[in-house]
Amino acid sequence: MTFDLNALEADYPLVLQGLLVTLRIVFYAILFGAVGSVVLCLGKLSGRGPGYRVAVFVIDFFRTIPEVVLIFWVYSCLPLLFGLRMSAEVSGIVALSLFVAANVAEILRAGILSTEKGQLEAAFSLGLPAPTIWRRVVLPPAVRRMMPNFVNFLTELLKASSLLSTIGVAEIVYQATVLGNETFAYLEFLTAVAVLFFMLIFPLSLYVRRAETRHFKRTSR
Amino acid sequence: MNAGATKLAIRCTDVVKRYGTFVALDRVSTTIATGEVVCVIGPSGSGKSTLLRTMNGLETIDSGTVDVLGHTLPGPRRELETIRRRVGMVFQNFNLFGHMTVRENLVLAPMTARGLGRAEADEAAQKLLTRVGIGEQIDKYPAQLSGGQQQRVAIARALAMEPEIMLFDEPTSALDPEMVNEVLDVMRDLARGGMTMVVVTHEMGFAREVGDRILFMAEGQLLVDAAPATFFTAPEDERQKAFLSKVL
Ligand SMILES: Nc1ncnc2c1ncn2[C@@H]1O[C@H](COP(=O)(O)OP(=O)(O)OP(=O)(O)O)[C@@H](O)[C@H]1O
Ligand SMILES: [Mg+2]
């Protein structure tokens, strides 16, 4: 077996096009998933009632099923159940949005619940109105605490998006596989994918590691 | 305290607070007049903090009432906010907003709850910080200050709302000994300026010197309510004697 970089030369635009599709899908999944996550998080934070129970169920359900299964269900079952006609890419976005919503809801909730009791008591004792307490006292430090978890999840999401190749979405892994089929240069194309993913994800993990040591320094004083 | 002109600031009537079956406050009744400095002392777990926290509604109560500046607790939620704007509180652990500068800590409540403009709030903040002796620290973050400085910022933050009553919950207990006095000095000044103060403290010297009255608590009950001179020199209650023999 040889490793022939020339194999990439002619077809790398297709790989990059796949990367673009990957990024587009991830972008929309984050956008829609973020909205869903806020709703789910508030539902779960409410602590009781039907909204709470629905939120808990949705979060647990979409966090526990394997992403491949979720993707396949959305792709094949939603059209059957609701008569919706969706392209592979759209159903991929729907599936990943659900994946984002459930997971980010938990990240948000953990961040909010880790607010120190003393911070809230200080805010209460000043007679601050509830919206101000949320916006100025609870959220800024909570978001800072959540950042490493967000970024960790983003790397998971990027990797999970490659599973969309199984339903024929022309994202990066799909393109690489097709090109591999055509040229028999599987190794080269898949390695190129690995390199691109590494380039995307490595800075993120670096950020998380730095943030964690920073946090450690701050809290261990 | 001015003799004669006694306006009511706080009145606790048969206040009961339970945690499950545990009785943290056992029918506590007392009144505090405007301008009075009342020090609350007693052994750990006796309910001092709990009592203090009922005075601005941080702690709900199971029966009885707490009247604060003409409002009655428990009462409507909106009134709670009003009361809290008129009653400042200082905590053992400062509870400054760590992600804000000292300035932001001080202007947040006046701007959102008192409707002050930026410039006005800023000027007031600067004045207050100068008054508590840390005017130069206004653009620092709390973590860059010493404990004593942080507690003085916390006092200034509460004062920025121009409260009529100040509640202190062991404001010097988390401080290194060399920083205790800088905080007590600020509190002394406040007392001298006529502020109504309720101070939970283990600083017997301060209670004796600054307090108009001492409330002694044990096991959720208010056992003794006396002037400092009587309290420290002529104890009558057995638990009071036992407590004093340990701390004096
Ligand atoms: N949230 C709570 N749940 C259960 N018990 C509580 C709670 N808060 C306070 N208590 C109990 O109520 C009692 C009175 O507490 P409080 O904090 O008022 O005591 P304290 O006199 O301020 O003591 P210290 O000097 O240690 O601060 C204690 O026995 C405490 O364990
Ligand atoms: Mg206490």
Is A144 inside a domain boundary?
yes
CA-based end-to-end distance of chain B? 26
pLDDT at A212 over 80: no
Q: Does residue A179 sit in helix, strand or coil?
A: helix
For a ligand 1 pocket test, name from B49, B51, B203, B222 the mutation site with the most ligand atoms within 8 angstroms of its C-beta: B49
pLDDT in tens, A72-116: 999 998 888 888 788 999 999 999 999 999 999 999 999 999 999
Q: With beta carbons less than 8 A apart as the criterion, state whether B207 and B38 touch.
A: no
What Å distances lie between residue B244 and A31, B195, B202, B212, B226, CA to CA?
A: 64, 27, 11, 18, 14
CATH code assigned at A105: 1.10.3720.10
pLDDT in tens, A160-209: 999 999 998 988 999 989 998 888 888 888 888 999 999 988 988 888 88
Atom of ligand 1 nearest to the CA of B42: 21
pLDDT class of B2 with cuts at 50, 70, 90? very low
- Chain B positions touching A123 (Cβ under 8 A) are 97
Is A147 inside a domain boundary?
yes
Is A69 inside a domain boundary?
yes
pLDDT in tens, A43-67: 999 999 999 999 999 999 999 999 9
CA of A109 to the centre of ligand 2 (A): 30
Asked if the C-beta of B235 comes within 8 angstroms of chain A's C-beta atoms, the answer is no
Could you tell me if the CB of B19 is within 6 A of ligand 1?
yes
Is A20 inside a domain boundary?
yes
Compare all CA atoms of chain B with the CA of A129 and give the residue at the minimum distance: B113
What Å distances lie between residue B109 and B3, B155, B159, B163, CA to CA?
A: 34, 13, 10, 12
Instruction: Give residue A183's domain range.
Output: 6-219
- Chain A positions touching B87 (Cβ under 8 A) are 125
Is A182 inside a domain boundary?
yes
Q: With beta carbons less than 8 A apart as the criterion, state whether B50 and B24 touch.
A: yes
Q: How many CB pairs under 8 A join A and B?
A: 63
Separation in Å, CA of A217 to nearest CA in chain B: 12
Could you tell me if the CB of B43 is within 6 A of ligand 1?
no
Is A83 inside a domain boundary?
yes
For tokens 């933050």, the residue is B157
Q: Residue B69 and residue B72: Cα distance in Å, rounded?
A: 8
Domain count, chain A: 1
B37-41/B196-200 β-pairing: parallel
Atom of ligand 1 nearest to the CA of B48: 21
Q: Residue A153 and residue A161: Cα distance in Å, rounded?
A: 12
Is A1 inside a domain boundary?
no
Kindly provide the ipTM of the predicted complex, given to two decimals: 0.94
